Structure 1
Amino acid sequence: MTHSFRTYTTLIDPPQLQELQQTDTPLMVFDCSFDLTNPAAGEEQYHRAHIPGAIYAHMDRHLSDEGVVDPDGRRRPQADAASGGRHPLPSREKFAMWLSAIGFTNDMQAVVYDRQGANYCGRLWWMLKWMGHEAVAVLDGGLQAWESAGGALRGGDEPSRFQSNFRVGPEHRRLVTTEQVLRGLDSRGQTIIDARARPRFRGEVEPLDPVAGHIPGALNRPFTENLGPDGRFKEPQALRAEFENLLAGRDPATVVHHCGSGVSAIPNLLAMEVAGLGPTGLYAGSWSEWCSDPGRPVERG
C-alpha cells in the first residue's frame, strides 16, 4: 500500500523507517558501523546482522580519502582530498563516483545508522548534506533501537544495484579549513566546539595524535552528551538549553565543530540542527590536522 511520505533531514526513528519501507519512496539505508581500533570490525558486524537492504559504508574506504603511502610507510591524503587529518574527506567528485557505483540517486531518501551511538553514521549524514543532498537522516538509537522495535535483520551481503549517475549539488554544509580556523582565533566571528572527551581536551592524555591539548579558545562538549541513557538523542528543547548554556551568548552561526579527525564532531553538529540552532561549520581536519604543524598554537588545561 502506498502512502504520502515526508522527507527526513535530521533524525528518523525505527517505526518511521518501518513505515517508509512500506511506501514507494526511493530509499537507501546505510550501515556505517566502525571501530577506530579495529577497522575490520564494523564490516564484520554488518555481515553478521544488518537492516535488510542496507549498504555497508566503510569509514576508511568510502567515507575518507584513502590516500597514498609514502616510501617510509606513512599514509598521506591525495592532492585532491577535501581536508587533511587522520580521516581526510575525499573530493566531492570521488564521493559522487562511489554513490553512483552503489546506485544511489538524487531523488532517494537516505537513512544512516551504526552501533556506536551515531559516532560514525553522522559522517555520511554530513557528507550527503555537503553534496547538496538534504534527504538524509540518522536512525535515532541505531541498530539497537531498530532491534528493540522488532525490526527485521539479515546477514551476509546485499545484491549489487545498477550504476546510477549521482549529480553533485551545492555545498549545503560549511567545510572549514585550517587556515580559516587560524584566521578566526580570538575573533567574535568564530566559536570552536571540540567534541573530544574532557581529558583529551585538557591535554592530560592523547592516545591517537602526537600532541596533546586543544585549539586556543575552544569550548568542550563531548559528543556523547547528546544522547540520553536509551542511546537516543535528547529532546530538542534539552539540547537547545545545553548548547545555549555552553555558548553563553555567542552566536550559534559562528560555531565550527571539530574533534580528533572530523568524525565524532558531527553528533554535536547534528544535535545543534535538531535543537534548531544550525547548520554550523565543520573543521574536518580537526585536531589531527591542527597539531601536525608545530607552528600552530596549542592550549592545555
Structure 2
Amino acid sequence: MQKPFTCLVSVQELAESATSSWRIFDCRFRLADPAAGKRAYAEGHLPGAMFLDLEEDLSGPRSGLNGRHPLPDPQHLAAKLGSLGVGPGTQVVAYDDMGGMFAARLWWLLRWLGHTRVAVLDGGLQAWASSGKPIDTAIPEPVACHFEAQLQRDMKVNADYVLSHLDDPEVLIIDARAPDRFRGENETLDPVGGHIPGAINRFFQDNLDASGCFKQAALLQEEFGKLIKGGDAHKVVAQCGSGVTACHNLLAMEAAGLDGARLYAGSWSEWCADPARPIATGP
C-alpha cells in the first residue's frame, strides 16, 4: 500500500502518485475579493480538482465575537467532504496560489476531523504550471461516500485557555501575521491593532523559500527550534488574524517533525472583539 502523504507533496510526487481515488481541492481565495477564488477555479485548475471556499466551506457562521473565520461545524464539514468523495482512506491534496496560505487551513481541518491522509501541494498552482503540467477547466462529478468525523479535540484551544495561560512559561503563543500588524501598525482587517500579550511573531511567509516552496525540514526545525528555545512543540499555541495563516505555521512545524502544537482558531479577530482582554503593541 502506498505510503500516505501527510504534510507536503511535491509536483512530481503528485503527478506520479495520484490515482483516481485521490481528491484534489483548489483552495484559492482573496481576502479583499472573496469571489476571486471561484472565478480563478473556473478559468483553470489542476485536473480533477474540486473547489472549496474559505468562507462558505472552511469556516462557520460569524457572530461578531468569534472571529472572522470561525471553525466550521465538524459534522457539516464532514458531510461536505463526503459529498465530494472523501472517505476514510482517501488521499487528499490541497493547493492554492499563495504559498499554501489557504490550503493549510484545509490540511488542518481534515486532521482535526481525524483524517491524516492530507497534504498541501508544495509551491501550489505556480509550481504545477511552471513544471509544464496541464491545467483543466472540466468540473469533476465525484461519487459521494461516507466521511465520519473523529474529532481531535486536543488540537485547538479557545480564548479562555489563552487568557488563563498568558503568564504560563509552558505555553508559547506564536502569531503568524506580518510583523507590522503584530506590532499594531497598518491594521486594516481588524478593528483593533496589536497582539496577545506575551506572543512572539513568526510571519508565515518566512516558512517559504525564494521559489515559493516550503523550506527544507532541517531549516524549519532549526528556525522553529530557536523560537521554542529547545522546548516541546506541544507548548506552542499558533494564532494569526483569523485562524487561517496560523495553520501554515502548524504545517511547517509538522513538516519539520515538530508535532503537537495547537491552534487558537479565533485568533486576533476574536481576541480583540472583547475589550476586557488585554492587548499589547510594539515588538
1:104–1:164 Cα contact (<8 Å) kept: yes
Asked if residue 76 in structure 1 is aligned to residue 63 in structure 2, the reply is: yes
SS at match of 1:257: strand
In the alignment, what sits opposite 1:216? 197
Q: Give the aligned partner of residue 39 of structure 1.
A: 34
Q: Does 1:101 align with 2:83?
A: yes
Distance in 1, matches of 2:66 and 2:224, equals 28
Corresponding residue SS for 1:111: strand
Distance apart, 1:150 and its partner CA: 2.1
Unaligned runs of 5+ residues in structure 2 are: none
Q: Is the 8 A contact 2:175 2:246 kept in 1?
A: yes
Aligned residues: 282
Gaps of 5+ in 1: 68-74, 78-82
| 1:227/1:234 contact within 8 Å kept | yes
Partner in structure 2 of residue 20 of structure 1: 17
Q: Give the superposition deviation at 1:172.
A: 7.3
Superposition deviation, residue 186 in structure 1: 0.6
Report the alpha carbon displacement of residue 160 of structure 1 after superposing the two structures with TM.
2.4
> What RMSD over aligned residues (CA atoms) do the two structures have, in Å?
1.5
Partner of 1:93, secondary structure, is helix
Partner of 2:24: 29
Tell me the SS of whatever aligns to 1:76.
Answer: coil
- Equivalent positions of 1:110-259 (< 5 A) are 110-155=92-137, 157-171=138-152, 174-259=155-240
Q: Give the share of equivalent positions with the same residue, in percent.
A: 47
For 1:187 and 1:161, the matched residues in 2 are separated by 48
Whole-angstrom CA distance in 2 between matches of 1:93 and 1:173? 17
Instruction: Pick closer, same or farther for the CA change 1:239–1:159 going to 2, 3 Å.
Output: closer
The C-alpha deviation readout for 1:3-46, integer Å capped at 9, x for no partner, is x522100000011011112x46x210000000000001011111
Moved more, 37-46 or 94-103: 94-103
Instruction: Determine helix, strand or coil for the equivalent of 1:237.
Output: helix
Deviation of 1:76 after TM superposition, in Å, equals 1.9
User: TM-score with structure 1 length normalisation?
Assistant: 0.90
Match of 1:277 in 2: 258
Would the alpha carbon gap of residues 50 and 243 (structure 1) be closer, same or farther in structure 2, given more than 3 Å must change? same
Q: Could you say which residue in structure 1 is the equivalent of 2:44?
A: 49
Give 4+ residue runs of structure 1 displaced > 4 Å after superposition. Answer: none
TM-score of the superposed pair, with normalisation by structure 2: 0.96
Indicate which of 7, 10, 25 corresponds to 1:10. 7
Q: How far, CA to CA, are the matches of 1:277 and 1:103 in structure 2? A: 31
